[in-house]
Amino acid sequence: MTGAEEISCEKFFGGLQKKYTVFSKELSLKTEINFYLPPKAVAGGKCPVIYYISGMTCDVDIHVQRAGYQRYASELNLIIVSPDTSPRGAGVDGEEGERNLGTGAGFYLDATEEKWKKHYRMYSYVVEELPEIVKAAIPQADLDKVGIIGHSMGGHGALSIYLKNPDKYKSCSVLAPILNPINSPLCQKPFTSYLGSDKSTWGQYDCSEILKNISEESFKLLRPILIDMGTMDKYLIGGELLPEPFLEIAKKRGLDLNYRMQDGYYHAYGLVSTFMGEHLEHHANLLSSI
C-alpha cells in the first residue's frame, strides 16, 4: 500500500466526508475509498470505526449519497470507512457488461481462477489491507473498536467477514444480505468464475456454511448480530437471498441474532436509509461496551 491521497472533501452534519485514492497491493491497482469523520474526529478525538461495504452494481459513491449514515455517525461519533465494491479498470476480459460479475461485483472474496486472481482479491483487501490504510490516513480511528455493516452483496461480504474474523470486528449488522450464496442462482456464475467449479471451495465465503462450521472458540467471540430484510424484496421473494439455511443454523447454534422482516420495504436504499440509524446505534452500543 502506498500513501493515500485526498481527492475530495465535503461537510456533512458538522463532520467531513472525504474521498481518497490509494494504490492497493492486494488489488494491484489504484482504488478509491470514502471516509466520514464525525465532528469529534475532525477535532482530533478518537472514534470507533465502522466499515460499510456496498452491494452489487454500486460504485464507491452511491452509498455516500443514498444510505443516509452521516447524520447518525455525526451524533454517535462513528467514523465510516467505505471501500469500492470491486477493482476497477483491471482489464480482465469479461469484467464489464454483467451485473453479477467483474466491475461492481467483487463479492468480497479472493479469486483463485487464473483470469481473476491478480486483481479480484476483495476479501484480503478489506480484511488485511484496508485497516492499514485507515491507520495511516485517519489517526483518529480507534482500531480497537471496529464494526462492519453491509447491504445486499455487501451484506454477504460483511457477515461472512465478521463470522470468519470475530477477533477483529466487535459488531456486525447487515441489510438484505445474500445468506447462502453457494445455493443462490445469483451467485453461481461469479463464484464459478472466481473460485472454479469445485463447490467445496465456495463454503469459505458462504455465511451459512461458515456459521455451521465455526469453532466453539470463535463462536464464543461473536456478539449480537442485526439483520433487516424487506418483505417486498424481489430477490428474497425470488429465492436469491436464501435466509432459511442461515436462520436454521443460527437457531441450532444459539446465535444471538435479531432478524427483522420490515413490512413493505424493497431491496434497495429505501430499506437502507430508513433503518440506518438503528443499525449504527446497534454498533455504537456494542462498541461502547468494550
Q: Annotated catalytic sites, by residue?
A: 152, 233, 267
Smallest CA-to-CA distance from 130 within 205, 29, 22, 54 is with 22
> Which cell goes with 193?
468464475
Q: What is the rounded CA–CA span in Å between residue 84 and residue 108?
A: 10
Give the whole-angstrom CA distance, residue 213 versus residue 246: 12
Residues in the chain: 290
Task: Kindly write down the DSSP assignment for every residue of 24-88, as one continuous string.
Answer: ETTTTEEEEEEEEE-HHHHTT--EEEEEEE--TT--SSHHHHHS--HHHHHHHT-EEEEE-SS--
Q: Report d(CA 118, CA 111) in Å as an integer.
A: 8
Cβ-contact 105, 56 below 8 angstroms: yes
| Lookup result for grid cell 445474500 | 178
Local structure of 120: helix, strand or coil: coil
The whole-angstrom separation of Cα 83 and Cα 157 is: 12
DSSP 190-233: HHHHHH-S-GGGGGGG-HHHHHHH--HHHHTT---EEEEEETT-
